[in-house]
Amino acid sequence: MASAGRIKRKFRELRARGEAALIPFIVAGDPDMDTTRSLVLELEARGADLIELGVPFSDPMADGPANQRALARGLGAGASLAAILSMVSELRAQTQIPIILFGYFNPIFHYGCERLCADAARAGIDGILTVDLPPEEAGELKRPARANGLDIIYLLAPTTPLDRSRAIARSASGFLYYVSVTGVTGARAHLDAGLGAHMRELRSVTDLPIGVGFGISTPEQAAEVATMADAVVVGSAISLLIEAHIKSGDVREAVGGLVGAMKHAMKAARGAGRAAAAGDCDG
């Protein structure tokens, strides 16, 4: 049986330690299921706090080129929902890291919402994030998810009005995922200058942890976001690293290195932030 709030517990622990969560996104089956399995364990060892497992779909309309290619590789490797659940089920003997399925609705709908939620909970999945399933359409997934103790993670975007963010937050659980750019997934040279202000605004409408993703690719960016948000999601940068290291066979070291550096930078930034705040009080 799954979770009963593994995500909630994780954020509580992190908050107590004054840390922001690092959430790597890896496409299941990129480039094969064995690599994905070993990556989950490696990334946990390097400081990942939660894992988003990308579920391959033939038509990923909210993803940029890097994730499109990663999802196509996963599809080619046979990363079906059934194969992913069976992998997670095996991984649960070795790790209790919260795992979220991240994908598009059609494969889930086709599998059957009821059956998927029951099977996912049994396998040890903790939450589901479906890019193209806004709260207005989420009823058929949300009911069985709730009955099986799974969190439904919703997206908030820069275009989402505050009233709508409030309403979405009210029906969400686990955490909220703020899409930091008006655009599809993929690395950006610069973070949105208004991110801090936007985070403060969102804080006023919810007590749920807020994660930020889309476009974060370097330890420096991760560190900056860690000072404003409860979690940092990194996706396309990992897909690109995997792509670049498939031939040489050192995907694990490469991705592990990035995740380790990101977590290190995030901790340092939070520490520095606290020190600066303490300094301010003294002065």
Partner 1 sequence: MQNVPNSRGHFGQFGGKYVAETLMPALFELESAYKQARRDPKFRDELAHRSREFVGRPTPLYLCENLTARLGGAKIYLKREDLCHTGAHKVNNTLGQALLAVRMNKSRITAETGAGQHGVATATMAALFRRECEVFMGSVDVERQSLNVFRMKLLGAKVTPVEGGSKSLKDAMNEALRDWIATVRNTYYLIGTTAGPHPYPMIVRDFQSVIGREARRQILKHEGRMPDVLVACVNGGSNAIGLFFPFIKDTGVRMIGVEAAGLGISGPHHAATITTGSVGVLHGNKTYLLQDELGQIRETHSIAAGLDYPGVGPEHSWLKDVGRAEYTSVTDAEALDALKTLSETEGIIPALESAHAVAHAIKLAPQLAKEQIMIVNLSGRGDKDMQTVAKAFGVTV
Q: Which of 16, 161, 204, 277 binds partner 1 (CB under 8 A)?
A: 161
Say whether residue 127 binds partner 1 (CB under 8 A). Answer: no
Smaller CB separation from partner 1, 157 or 261:
157
Q: Which value, to the nearest 10 degrees, does the dihedral of the CA atoms of residues 217, 242, 88, 9 take? A: -20
Burial of 108: CB neighbours in 10 Å, binned 0-12, 13-18, 19+: buried
Distance spanning both ends of the chain, measured CA to CA: 52
216 vs 203: CA distance, rounded Å: 21
The distance of closest approach from Cβ of residue 266 to partner 1 in the complex, given in angstroms and rounded to an integer, is 25
Q: Which of 44, 63, 119, 126 is catalytic?
A: 63
| CA separation for the pair 74, 67 (Å, rounded) | 10
Phi, psi of 151 (to 5 degrees): -80, 140
Secondary structure (3-state) at 90: helix
> Is 171 among the residues that bind partner 1 (CB under 8 A)?
no
**What minimum distance in Å lies between the beta carbon of 104 and partner 1?**
8
Q: How far is the CB of 227 from partner 1 (least distance, A)?
A: 24
Give the nearest distance from C-beta 68 to partner 1 in angstroms: 6
Question: Is residue 280 among the annotated active site residues?
Answer: no
63 is catalytic: yes
Binding partner 1 by CB under 8 A: which of 80, 86, 95, 96?
Answer: 80
Residue 3 or 217 with smaller CB distance to partner 1: 217
- Judge contact between 213 and 180, C-beta under 8 A: yes
96 torsion bin: left (phi>0), alpha (psi -120 to 50), beta (else)? alpha
Looking at 27-35, 94-102, 141-149, 176-184, which segment touches partner 1 (CB under 8 A)? 176-184
- Residues of the shown chain interacting with partner 1 in the complex, contacts defined by CB under 8 A: 56-65, 68, 75, 80-81, 104-111, 131-134, 136-137, 154-161, 164, 168, 179, 181-184
Q: Which residues form the catalytic set?
A: 52, 63
